[in-house]
């Protein structure tokens, strides 16, 4: 399905110097993809004009008018189609999102979908009160970074490329409203928190608290294994009835 569109604004502003111009140089055709109509793909042939820039100091001699309400500069998808493709990509990723989009009559490549995801606008960061700091892997076993999560809405705030205490302290210093920091057991993270947010309360999350308890119990059991075996033997002997001949297995 095709629908021809033509831009009819009398003037256009130059992207280089923002000076409006009404001197038309020529016309150009753009082919845009839009949301499907039922099971039919929709293409929008858009006629745009090229203008001469009359500002002598501007490096652009000729520029093409933009249609910001319909499509981004140099874009091939309308805004509403790009929004739909980006939502699918954020939910399913590249390959899975491409397969679903094909069934919905929105065929695009996985690389195009990932490019739209990477170009999504970043939501504004609210005033942080409590954040969580933990390790994450750029490449497991080779390169690790730091993930920071806003515990108010459980959303990722930032990804740091390393685990250095200096970079962590510099990041925390940008948000003086932080009063509580959940962290892992890393000494580097603890040092960075003390330097970047000295008044914040450091809290160990439940996952690492249970991990600490498990490791402490492993060490305790390893050091007192003979005593635990003797106690288990005594407990087994007391449960054997008098005169019984039940075999006793050593623990």
- Reading the chain (251 residues) residue by residue, the pLDDT tens digits are 445 555 556 788 888 888 888 888 888 888 888 998 888 888 888 888 888 888 888 888 888 888 888 888 888 889 999 999 999 988 888 888 888 888 888 888 888 888 888 888 877 777 888 998 888 887 777 788 888 899 888 888 888 888 888 888 898 898 888 999 988 777 778 888 888 888 889 888 777 788 888 888 888 888 888 888 888 888 887 877 665 555 656 66
Q: Are residues 57 and 13 in the same domain?
A: yes
Q: Confirm whether 179 is domain-assigned.
A: yes
Residue 243 domain-assigned (yes or no):
no
* pTM score, whole prediction: 0.55
* Same-domain pairing of 109 and 134: no
Structural domain includes residue 250? no
Q: Quote the domain boundaries for residue 189.
A: 130-204
Q: Where are the alpha helices (DSSP H) in 119-205?
A: 165-173, 187-196
- Residues in contact with 202: Cβ distance below 8 Å, sequence separation at least 6, in sequence order: 181, 183, 190, 193
- How many structural domains compose the chain? 3
Instruction: Please indicate, yes or no, whether residues 146 and 195 belong to a single structural domain of this protein.
Output: yes
Q: How many helices (H) and strands (E) does the chain have?
A: 7, 11
Does residue 226 fall inside a structural domain?
no
224 neighbors 209 (Cβ within 8 angstroms): no
């Amino acid at each position: 399905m095709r629908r021809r569109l033509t831009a009819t604004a009398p003037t256009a502003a130059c992207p280089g110097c923002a000076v409006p111009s009404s001197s038309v140089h020529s016309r150009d055709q753009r082919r845009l993809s839009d949301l499907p109509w039922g099971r039919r793909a929709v293409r929008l042939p858009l006629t745009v004009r090229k203008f001469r820039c009359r500002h002598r100091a501007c490096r652009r001699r000729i520029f093409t008018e933009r249609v910001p309400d319909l499509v981004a500069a140099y874009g091939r998808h309308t805004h509403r189609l790009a929004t739909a493709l980006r939502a699918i990509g954020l939910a399913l990723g590249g390959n899975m999102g491409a397969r679903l989009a094909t069934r919905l009559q929105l065929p695009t490549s996985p690389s195009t979908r990932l490019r739209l995801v990477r170009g999504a606008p970043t939501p504004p960061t609210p005033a942080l009160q409590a954040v969580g700091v933990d390790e994450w892997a750029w490449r497991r076993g080779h390169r690790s970074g730091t993930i920071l999560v806003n515990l108010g809405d459980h959303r990722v705030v930032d990804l740091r490329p390393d685990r250095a205490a200096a970079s962590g302290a510099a990041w925390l210093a940008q948000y003086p409203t932080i009063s509580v920091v959940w962290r892992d057991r890393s000494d580097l993270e603890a040092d960075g928190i003390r330097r970047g947010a000295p008044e914040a309360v450091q809290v160990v999350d439940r996952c690492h608290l249970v991990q600490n308890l498990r490791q402490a119990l492993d060490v305790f059991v390893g050091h007192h294994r003979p005593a635990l075996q003797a106690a288990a033997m005594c407990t087994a002997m007391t449960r054997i009835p008098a005169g019984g001949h039940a075999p006793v297995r050593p623990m």
